[in-house]
Amino acid sequence: MRSQRVLYKISVAHTPSELWMLRSDLHQCISQAHTQSEAAERINSLIDVFAGWLPASQITRI
């Protein structure tokens, strides 16, 4: 199942950048369980968590 793969990828991520790169996969999983707008809202709520860990140019909203 896709969600299990995403959870595995999250668990083996070593850097904030690796986690941030998984947001598209995570967005798709959340969209399947809820709505696209809910998924975007949840992913975008993580931006503050990654601020300071990633270059500002890399942090974009969905």
Residues 29-53 pLDDT 10s: 999 999 999 999 999 999 999 999 9
Residue 44 covered by a domain = yes
φ, ψ dihedrals at 52, nearest 5° = 95, -20
Identify whether 60 is part of a domain.
no
Tell whether 20 is covered by a domain: yes
Q: Are 29 and 3 in contact (CB under 8 A)?
A: yes
In a domain, 22, yes or no: yes
pLDDT score of 1: 73
Owning domain of residue 17: 2-52
User: Is 58 within the bounds of a domain?
Assistant: no
Mean pLDDT of the chain: 95
pLDDT of residue 2: 83
Q: Is residue 33 assigned to a domain?
A: yes
**In the structure, what pLDDT confidence band is assigned to residue 7 with cuts at 50, 70 and 90?**
very high
- Cβ contacts of 43-52, under 8 Å, gap ≥ 24: 50/16, 50/19, 50/20
Q: How many domains does the chain have?
A: 1
